[in-house]
Structure 1
Amino acid sequence: MRRSSGAALALAGLLALGACGSSDDGAGSATAKSSDKSSETSAAASTQAKGESVDAGDVATRMVAAMQKAGSGTMSMDTGGEKATGDFTYVDGKLQQHTTVPVEGSEMEIISVGDFVYLKGLPGQAKPWVKIDPSGDDPVSQMFKGIAEGGISDPTKMAENLKGTQAKVTSTDGGNTTYEFTVDPAKALGDAAAPTPSPSASTPPLSMTYVLDGQDRPVTISTSVSGQAITVTYSDWGKKVDISAPPADQVGPMSFPSST
């Protein structure tokens, strides 16, 4: 059960990191605005001291702009027993990603290119790869649509969601700055936040830690809730990354189990 929950947490985390990408035609404009914001705030960031309170949305905006400026890199995700790895790149302001996730002794691959997501390793499929269209009306497509509209898959929108949340500078060491904050999932994730079982039920807050380098690029991003944690480590900034859709003859629609 521990391995199963870890794999599920890893998959959820990967989706949250951008498996759908932004489908906004104004992505280039958004990138420029984000870069401008980063330039405006970089001087302030360099003078932040341990114990200082800052706006988490501003921190996230600087981070997104720095990632887009770097263009590409490598990530690994640790869920406390299982590790997912992958490469990512920004193309015209859209985040594209190829990730491998361990699942019950096997592997699942996730590719996000343009407006589509491709999954490999799902049982019971006619083709090795399954194509997911977030605009579809099946349950899986609707799940991806909720993630996209919630803003998790669009880092710029995620940064906007964090506006007004106070983060504390807990360390400035070796050129890296550590920011810690807690936030209500409904605020951070928007429409993608899981609904509570009843109106009176409360959702545990997310505890988040950003460690950014001297150029505001993430070194690690850690998220924990209800005793479960995800830590994503970034490296190889600017490395050559080529991510493309799987060959067409290897891709098919998702097959759902028969109800009979």
Structure 2
Amino acid sequence: MKRVTILAAITTAAALVLSACGGETQPGAAAPASSEAKSSLSSPLGDSIQLAALTRESTKKAKSSKMTMEIVAGAEKSTASGQGLYDGENSKLAMIMDSDGKKLDMLFVDNALYFKLDAEDKAELKTDKAYVKISPEGKDPISQLLGKMMSKAVKDSDPARTLEQISKAGKITKSDQVELNGELTNHYVIDVDARKALALVMGEIGIPVPAETLKQLDAKLEGKNVAILTELWLNADQLPVQVISDQTAFVKAMGAPGDGVAKTTVKYTDWGGPVTVAAPPADQVGDMAEIMKKGGR
């Protein structure tokens, strides 16, 4: 159960980072677009609400993509790759994560999360099932804690939802036109108010931030003008090709130990391509609540 719990926490944190805010540009990855190239792009927008609305329409048409993700938290780094279908309540996601040198497979289908179990997991959970299921309706502590968060997090992996939340908590501070990995893009730099972003995410998953907690956050953030720096690259179809979110300033303001680095990079490809994500066969799935009940937990 330990590995499953860790994976759920990592995955939820990663997706919540995206939903809350979405940096440093990699050397040589982006370059100013030539005058000829710029003519094929619409001019960058200056209003985050208009930007969110435009991208929402574009992703609504495309609906699907492949993605890669890198999450850096202090000295720890996790990577992931997968594919997603962004369709509200019908959203689906398949992802393979590499955390601490271990490959971790997960699926999100029909509002439920499935983790693939290895031999060690099966022994710890005392099950012969190939997958364990975590759903918002689960009665066990893990499902109750993570089910609702995970459901929202996966739905918010839709870049349009990310930008919608950015528009509520942030503002565009810079925009230009650049080439990113050979593709012409509009590049935006957005400052996201850390306190607004946190309250927004907690409220939307049904966990309102207590007044005392907000008071403590305000005390730590007072006078520091802490923002979550988010960079966004959109192609000529107004579809995201890369999002970088740097939460380092916020993490340091909260008093995190160590170097406090916190950064997430997400890259999108193959917009509109076919996506196949299906729930595992029922006879290969063990429900987390039932497994914990049998184990006396």
- Taking structure 1 as the reference length, the TM-score comes to 0.71
Q: 1:138 to 1:224 in 2, by over 3 A?
A: farther
Instruction: Give 1:190 deviation, angstroms.
Output: 4.0
Instruction: Give 1:13 deviation, angstroms.
Output: 1.2
Instruction: Give 1:229 deviation, angstroms.
Output: 0.6
1:180 matched to 2:189? The reply is yes
Query: Which of 159, 162, 171 matches 1:166?
Result: 171
Which deviations, in whole Å up to 9, do the C-alpha atoms of 1:163-221 show, x marking residues without a partner? 34311333212430111222223255242589688432346643211111111111101
The amino acid of 1:94's aligned partner reads N
Query: Which of 216, 241, 266 matches 1:200?
Result: 216
Q: Note if contact 1:9-1:79 (Cα within 8 Å) is conserved in structure 2.
A: no
Q: Note if contact 2:133-2:285 (Cα within 8 Å) is conserved in structure 1.
A: yes
Q: 1:188 to 1:223 in 2, by over 3 A?
A: farther
Give the 5 Å matches for 1:50-65: 53-55=46-48, 57-65=49-57
Give the 5 Å matches for 1:117-132: 117-121=113-117, 123=121, 124-125=124-125, 126=127, 127-132=129-134
Which deviations, in whole Å up to 9, do the C-alpha atoms of 1:217-246 show, x marking residues without a partner? 111011121321110111122222211001
Query: Which of 83, 97, 102 matches 2:93?
Result: 97
Query: Which of 222, 241, 247 matches 2:244?
Result: 222
Whole-angstrom distance in 1 between the partners of 2:147 and 2:157: 9
- Match for residue 47 of structure 1? 43
Q: 1:180 to 1:60 in 2, by over 3 A?
A: same
Whole-angstrom distance in 1 between the partners of 2:107 and 2:237: 28
Instruction: Give 1:77 deviation, angstroms.
Output: 0.5
The amino acid of 1:220's aligned partner reads Q
Q: 1:153 to 1:232 in 2, by over 3 A?
A: closer
- Taking structure 2 as the reference length, the TM-score comes to 0.63
- Match for residue 66 of structure 1? 58
Q: 1:107 to 1:116 in 2, by over 3 A?
A: same
**What SS does the corresponding residue of 2:272 show, helix, strand or coil?**
coil
Q: Note if contact 1:7-1:101 (Cα within 8 Å) is conserved in structure 2.
A: no
Q: 1:53 to 1:237 in 2, by over 3 A?
A: closer
Whole-angstrom distance in 2 between the partners of 1:241 and 1:154: 14
Whole-angstrom distance in 2 between the partners of 1:228 and 1:69: 32
Moved more, 147-156 or 86-95: 147-156
Moved more, 150-159 or 246-255: 150-159
**What SS does the corresponding residue of 2:167 show, helix, strand or coil?**
coil
Whole-angstrom distance in 2 between the partners of 1:128 and 1:6: 16
Q: Note if contact 1:168-1:181 (Cα within 8 Å) is conserved in structure 2.
A: yes
1:145 matched to 2:148? The reply is yes
Query: Which of 135, 140, 144 matches 1:133?
Result: 135
Which deviations, in whole Å up to 9, do the C-alpha atoms of 1:13-43 show, x marking residues without a partner? 146668xxxxxxxxxxxxxxxxxxxxxxxxx
Instruction: Give 1:137 deviation, angstroms.
Output: 3.7
Higher relative contact order (CA 8 A, sep 6+): 2
The amino acid of 2:272's aligned partner reads G
Q: 1:207 to 1:200 in 2, by over 3 A?
A: same
- Match for residue 201 of structure 2? 189
Unaligned runs of 5+ in 2: 1-5, 20-40, 249-260
Whole-angstrom distance in 1 between the partners of 2:231 and 2:93: 22
1:248 matched to 2:248? The reply is no
Query: Which of 233, 236, 248 matches 2:267?
Result: 233
Unaligned runs of 5+ in 1: 19-44
The amino acid of 1:167's aligned partner reads I
- Match for residue 79 of structure 1? 71
**What SS does the corresponding residue of 1:46 show, helix, strand or coil?**
coil
Q: 1:90 to 1:166 in 2, by over 3 A?
A: closer
Whole-angstrom distance in 2 between the partners of 1:69 and 1:236: 13
* Higher Cα Rg, which structure: 2
Q: How many residues align?
A: 226
